[in-house]
Amino acid sequence: MDTSSAITEADERALLDSIDRWLTKKVAPVASRFEEADEYPRELVADMCEMGLFGALIDPEWGGLGLSALTYSKIVARISEEWMSLTGFFNSHLMMALIVQKFGTTAQKDHWLPRFATGELRGGLALTEPGAGTDLQGIKTTAKRVGDTYTIDGSKLWITNAIEGDALAVLVKTDPDAQPRHRGMSMLVVQTRDEKTGVVPPGVTRGRKLPKLGYRGIDTGEIGFSGFVCDAALSLVGGEEGKGFLMATGGLEIGRVNVAARGVGIARRALRESVAYAQVRQTMGKPIAQHQAIQLKIGEMAAKTRASELLVEDAARAYDRGGRVDMEAGMAKWFATETAFEVATDAMRIFGANGYSKEYPIERLYRDAPLLIIGEGTNEMQRIIIARQYIARNPN
């Protein structure tokens, strides 16, 4: 379905302006403190719930904003310019929600989506495990059907909203012996904590919050299931086993648009800071912006940042048109995230010792950028996906 006209241009401007005001007033003064302490920013998460960001891509029928991917990518880029971690809270949540919205039964949509849209229930997509990352077919977590319930056993790692969240879409093996392996995989949406009392149900173990180089403040963690029982009708997305791998890879498409947009935000901020700094920092009696060596860097940074913006727009528009967009999303994800890392690195070179100091935002941008190259499918895998799809679309 084409959602590109979900809101008017005036509505989009008003929404982006309100987010800009929030970033200036509420986020900018505290981002460094939360990031350095690796502390969960509860008030900012509550703000994002109030602004509707946890329902950004959920249809208005269930209380969401029903935004297009294009508008969503603009929101993600703007927030990432200030503090990238904030975009992760609602990105993983929305990947979970869109799986229910796209593939769920009517009863599942009615049960989950209204609470997902408001952020009353917040969660994420639980795919990766200690021994399975890019190779999702290598997961070991199982779900066994017993009458009207499933019993889940296994563990998940590197899961966003695993500690502070309330629900997860969990990729499991319902037929571990199936060949090819993806035919034995299913997606179950389960509640991992009571959103009102905070009580964790029997069979769920919340593990540690993972210490990370960057992307701090957000609760990336591990979660275990041991004899956890859930209702089959509400949990098995679509009511049919064996479709989980397709749902997981489909959910990653909007995730890759999100990650690419994060790359745009980081590159924009690093470029903006570099241009401003280069005009006031002087060496040899003149601003360093007048030195050719600095101009060469800024010229390349500016061109690659703009190219990233255009690739993200292209991927978002393709997503809004519907159909398969793994090539477009892969192109945007690969180029924009590599650009983010390169531009952040060049910004540190331009800033010199000041770029290495926590008094400037460059060192945080430099630490946040590498995650984007790895998350939502490594960039090595993106290039393979791009090539395969390009060849398939251009047969000899």
Catalogue the active-site residues.
376
On whether the CB atoms of residues 264 and 308 are closer than 8 A, the answer is yes
For 28, the token pair is 């900018």
For 22, the token pair is 């929030």
Q: Name the residue among 112, 120, 92 with its Cα closest to residue 252.
A: 92
Coil, helix or strand for 154?
strand
How many angstroms separate the CA atoms of 81 and 308, rounded?
A: 14
Q: Name the residue among 256, 121, 137 with its Cα closest to residue 194.
A: 121
Q: Is 123 left (phi over 0), alpha (psi -120 to 50) or beta?
A: beta
For 101, the token pair is 């919205």
On whether the CB atoms of residues 220 and 160 are closer than 8 A, the answer is yes
For residue 130, the tally of other CB atoms under 10 A from its CB is 12
How many angstroms separate the CA atoms of 273 and 294, rounded?
A: 13
For residue 20, the tally of other CB atoms under 10 A from its CB is 14
Contacts with 309 (C-beta within 8 Å, 6 or more apart), sequence order: 77, 264
CA angle 172, 175, 177 (to 5 degrees): 120
CA distances 208 to 42, 96, 158, 162, 222, Å, are 18, 22, 10, 9, 6
**351: amino acid identity, one letter:** F
How many angstroms separate the CA atoms of 88 and 162, rounded?
A: 12
CA angle 232, 236, 241 (to 5 degrees): 110
How many angstroms separate the CA atoms of 139 and 129, rounded?
A: 6
On whether the CB atoms of residues 186 and 241 are closer than 8 A, the answer is yes
For helices 326-351 and 244-280, angle between their N-to-C axes, nearest 10 degrees: 30
How many angstroms separate the CA atoms of 221 and 239, rounded?
A: 28
